[in-house]
């Protein structure tokens, strides 16, 4: 595969957010490698635009290493499903993402875009108390905090995206981006979060920053830490001759 076009590993490509990220990245010149634990999902992922599919479990460090081999960038939209998985021990949100960050670092990837959640770390107050209690008890918040911290400490250019409550509504492109904790609260369509994740990969301004993301309609909270991001458009194959695109692709591939 053309490494000089840059290769991105999409972890969580089968998920409800990850599927939208796959749609967006498949339209770019990047080689998109999708990760799933489900071998039966391969044909669907390829039909949706994945160039490569790796079957593996991020809770297995060897699988994480295999998944990220030769990748220049990683986008993670993995998360534990509700239910038994949360009481079984290690969560993909914690141990799994830590394995992925470590593997990305070891393999020489440069860029990592992580889906976390409002409620983690200094955004704790952005989560309604009842939900915070449930997610604290299940260990999801502490697991996500651990992986956020691992990523911040890693020698990778990172963007951490903390969405509010996810919905399956269509994309609106009308999101509010907060930076600095719990001032932004509300819900947001997965499709909008996916756009933020995909665009973050190409927007230098988002590097080494942590954002809270919710929809503007229904925005709650003080919203006094809102930032304006000048999102870089996703590169298109037909526009790949453009100087800016070539520069960004070179950087991802270096």
Ligand X SMILES: NC(=O)c1ccc[n+]([C@@H]2O[C@H](COP(=O)([O-])OP(=O)(O)OC[C@H]3O[C@@H](n4cnc5c(N)ncnc54)[C@H](OP(=O)(O)O)[C@@H]3O)[C@@H](O)[C@H]2O)c1
CB of 67 to ligand X, least distance (A): 8
Among 13-21, 152-160, 229-237, 238-246, the segment contacting ligand X (CB under 6 A)? 13-21
Applying CB under 6 A, among 134, 165, 223, 226 the residue interacting with ligand X is 165
Q: Is 139 in the site for ligand X (CB under 6 A)?
A: no
CB of 98 to ligand X, least distance (A): 12
Size of the site for ligand X (CB under 6 A): 28
CB of 250 to ligand X, least distance (A): 30
Structure tokens at 244: 């800016």
Among 29-37, 145-153, 169-177, 195-203, the segment contacting ligand X (CB under 6 A)? 29-37
CB of 147 to ligand X, least distance (A): 10
CB of 36 to ligand X, least distance (A): 3
Q: Is 150 in the site for ligand X (CB under 6 A)?
A: no
As to burial, measured by CB atoms within 10 angstroms (0-12 exposed, 13-18 middle, 19+ buried), residue 149 is middle
Q: CA-to-CA distance for 204 and 209, rounded, in angstroms?
A: 10
Structure tokens at 35: 């990760």
Q: Is 30 in the site for ligand X (CB under 6 A)?
A: no
Among 2-10, 160-168, 212-220, 237-245, the segment contacting ligand X (CB under 6 A)? 160-168
Q: CA-to-CA distance for 96 and 29, rounded, in angstroms?
A: 28
Q: Is 18 in the site for ligand X (CB under 6 A)?
A: yes
Q: Is 117 in the site for ligand X (CB under 6 A)?
A: yes
Residue corresponding to tokens 């904790």: 181
Q: CA-to-CA distance for 215 and 163, rounded, in angstroms?
A: 9
Applying CB under 6 A, among 21, 32, 92, 191 the residue interacting with ligand X is 92
Secondary structure (3-state) at 181: coil
Applying CB under 6 A, among 23, 26, 27, 37 the residue interacting with ligand X is 37
Q: Is 189 in the site for ligand X (CB under 6 A)?
A: no
As to burial, measured by CB atoms within 10 angstroms (0-12 exposed, 13-18 middle, 19+ buried), residue 2 is exposed
Q: Is 200 in the site for ligand X (CB under 6 A)?
A: no
In DSSP notation, 106-170 reads HHT--EEEEE--TTSGGGGGGS-HHHHHHHHHTTHHHHHHHHHHHHHHSSSEEEEEEE-EEE-PP
Structure tokens at 5: 């076009």
Q: What are residue 199's phi and psi, to 5 degrees?
A: -70, -30
Q: Is 81 in the site for ligand X (CB under 6 A)?
A: yes
Residues in contact with ligand X by the rule CB under 6 A? 11-12, 14-18, 35-38, 41, 57-59, 77-79, 81, 92-93, 96, 115, 117, 163, 165-166, 190
């Amino acid at each position: 595969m053309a490494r000089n076009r840059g290769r991105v590993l999409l972890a969580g490509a089968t998920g409800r957010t990850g599927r939208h990220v796959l749609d967006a990245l498949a339209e770019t010149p990047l080689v998109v490698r999708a990760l799933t634990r489900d071998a039966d999902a391969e044909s669907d992922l390829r039909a949706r635009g994945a160039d490569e599919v790796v079957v593996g479990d991020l809770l297995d460090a060897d699988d994480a290493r295999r998944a990220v081999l030769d990748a220049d960038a990683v986008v993670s939209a993995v998360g534990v499903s509700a239910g038994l998985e949360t009481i079984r021990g290690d969560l993909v949100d914690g141990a799994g993402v830590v394995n992925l960050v470590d593997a990305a670092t070891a393999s020489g990837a440069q860029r990592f875009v992580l889906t976390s959640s409002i409620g983690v770390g200094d955004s704790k107050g952005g989560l309604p108390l009842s939900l915070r209690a449930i997610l604290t008890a299940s260990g999801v918040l502490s697991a996500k905090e651990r992986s956020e911290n691992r990523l911040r400490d890693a020698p990778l250019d990172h963007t951490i995206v903390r969405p509010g409550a996810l919905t399956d509504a269509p994309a609106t492109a009308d999101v509010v981006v907060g930076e600095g904790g719990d001032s932004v609260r509300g819900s947001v369509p997965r499709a909008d979060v996916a756009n933020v994740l995909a665009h973050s990969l190409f927007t230098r301004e988002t590097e080494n920053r942590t954002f809270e993301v919710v929809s503007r309609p229904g925005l709650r909270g003080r919203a006094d830490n809102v930032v304006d991001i000048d999102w870089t458009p996703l590169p298109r194959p037909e526009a790949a001759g453009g100087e800016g695109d070539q520069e960004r692709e070179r950087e991802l591939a270096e």
